[in-house]
Structure 1
Amino acid sequence: MINVGKEMEKRASLEVVEEFLHLDGATVIDVGCGNGWLTRQMTRRGAHVHGVEVSPRQLALARAAKAVADEDYIQGSAEDLPFPNRFADIVIYFNSLHHVDGSVMQRALHEAARVLKHGGVLFISEPFPEGPYFELMKTIHDETIVRNNAQRALMRAPEYGLLLEKSLSHLDTVSLANFQAFHDRLTTINPNIRTRFEEEEEVLRRDFARLGTQTEDGWVFEQPMRVAVLRRV
């Protein structure tokens, strides 16, 4: 467990990606790319990015977005990446490792090592099971176990030739236009909670106002993150 406080620096996750990774000209695999927002951001910075997504719904959203350059989106799973050995300079998991089933999480790390070139980088950014945004969603979408599983899985990364080069804990923010945007975000991640969301809506609305900070553009919620940069040796 961590203590969210002034000692943790506030940093936007995309800023950390830019600082820690040399993207220009790099071949990147974005595992669990969702709607492709990070894939497109990295493409704008000169990378050649392949987004991998298991959800047909999210994959459709990614493919429907206007292309930046040569990025593409492939249906696939973390434990069976559709790429040859030593293909990529960078493999990135952004908020996605904890969505991999625990029974295949080690296999997913093995696959990341397999597709990375020697000297390539595995970049993992994972939310801690703490902080205002986590507390907001916990009522109907408690990720405590899966987020802790992801942190524990990284301890075995050296078994696959992935050595920790640097790490960072920081405070990111989740920006939402309004309560409806929170509903849409959560039910897109987990459509099975729609009924539960309706049942708990009154509580969720109170927590939304209590835990968030209102701005001119909507609401922001702090979320502590841990970044791990591992080098394929």
Structure 2
Amino acid sequence: MTSFSAATVDTLPIARHLDRLSALAALDGRRVIDVGCGDGALVRALARRGAAMTGIEIDARALAPALAAPLVADERYLEGRAEALPLGDASVDVVLFFNSLHHVPVDLLARALHEAARVLVPDGRLLVVEPIAAGGYFELTRLVEDETFVRAKAYEALGRATDYGLTAVAEETYRNPLVFKDYTAFEARLAAVDPARAPMIERHRAELRAAFEVAAEQTPDGYRFHQPTRANLFRKS
């Protein structure tokens, strides 16, 4: 496992999440769970690419946006937590944490990785995609919530994956392009990640708006950022 220097952010290759997910884990035809699926956008995108998708969120409120969206294939959604997955032993081919492992409480990270290993079939894959705490987009969002500590702890936990019968296969870093129509769209995304952020967003709105205008690259499609990302792939031994 390697550390990451913020000074190298601008040298990372640009790639889109969906392309890297598909390349790393060969998801077509696989039984995949997206732990912390949010509004289900990734579940639907991967279902369109042929994966048999299950999205997992902590409660009915969190799942409501995903359940409200029209089905695109045979995707389904379940209530559950990373540290107590609502699935049987050896029942899925791929466990995916997409920008979600650092939202697991630090004292439950080990249990979450143990659960991922439990539900994987032999030779199954765990794919963890996490934003790196560096770069212009991170500096903007940390005005609302500084995730430096929790992201570091999530990465540290991956360094102990062998404790749960998981073998490291690959690690790669890249920059994913993020485009927002305007500041309002950016704020909506920021709040959707965690509704508890709403008071901080309101308190810092003027500062956020000003920083957004400075940090973003203006393009014909909107305001663009490149979010540095780390993807770690593991195999169940």
Q: Is TM more than 0.5 here?
A: yes
- Structure 2 length-normalised TM: 0.94
Q: Which amino acid is the alignment partner of residue 198 of structure 1?
A: E
Most deviating of 109-118 and 34-43:
34-43
**Correspondent of 2:160 among 148, 156, 179:** 156
Q: Which residue does 1:194 correspond to in 2?
A: 198
Q: Secondary structure at the match of 2:77?
A: strand
- Per the TM alignment, residue 55 of structure 1 is displaced from its structure 2 partner at its CA by 4.5
Unaligned 5+ segments in structure 1 are none
CA distance in 2, matches of 1:55, 1:177: 30
Distance between the aligned counterparts of 1:97 and 1:6, measured in 2? 24
Q: Secondary structure at the match of 2:160?
A: helix
Q: Deviations over 1:95-153 (max 9, x none)?
A: 00001011111100000000000000000100111111111111111111111111101
Find the aligned partners of 1:69 and 1:61 in 2 and give their Cα distance: 17
Query: Given residue 46 of structure 1, which amino acid in structure 2 is its aligned partner?
Result: G
- Paired-residue identity, %: 41
Alignment partner, residue 20 of structure 1: 24
The DSSP-based 3-state class of the residue aligned with 1:73 is strand
Contact 2:9 2:135 in 1 (8 A): no
Rounded to whole Å, the distance in 1 between the matches of 2:181 and 2:197 is 21
**Larger mean Cα displacement after TM superposition, 150-159 or 20-29:** 20-29
- Scaled by the length of structure 1, the TM-score of the pair is 0.96
Distance 2:8 2:185 in 1: 25
Kept in 2: contact 1:4–1:224 (CA 8 A): no
Name 2:115's counterpart in structure 1.
111
Alignment of structure 1 residues 115-194 onto 2, 5 Å:
115-194=119-198
Q: Per-residue displacement from partner, 1:18-51 (whole Å, max 9, x unpaired)? A: 1112222111111111111111111111111110
2:63 maps to 59
**Equivalent in the alignment of 2:235:** 231
- Runs (4 or more) in structure 1 with deviation over 4 Å come to none
Range 185-194 or range 74-83, more displaced: 185-194
Q: Does the 8 Å contact 2:9/2:228 carry over to 1?
A: no
| Segment of structure 1 superposing worse, 55-64 or 84-93 | 55-64
Contact 2:47 2:53 in 1 (8 A): yes
Unpaired runs of 5+ residues, structure 2, are none
Alignment check: 8 A CA contact 1:4 1:131 kept: no
SS at match of 1:225: strand
- Number of the residue aligned with 1:74: 78
User: Residue 124 of structure 1 contacts residue 228 of structure 1 at CA under 8 Å; is this kept in 2?
Assistant: yes
Q: What per-residue deviation string (whole Å, max 9, x for no partner) do you get for residues 59-81 of structure 1? A: 11001111011100111100000
- Say which SS state the counterpart of residue 185 (structure 2) adopts: helix
Aligned to 2:88: 84
Mapped contact 2:38–2:193 kept (Cα < 8 A): no
Find the counterpart in structure 1 of residue 224 from structure 2. Answer: 220
Letter in 1 for 2:77: Y
Aligned-residue offset at 1:6:
4.6
Partner letter of residue 135 of structure 1?
Answer: E
Residue 44 of structure 2 corresponds to 40
The alignment status of 1:96 with 2:116, answered yes or no, reads no
CA distance in 2, matches of 1:42, 1:69: 10
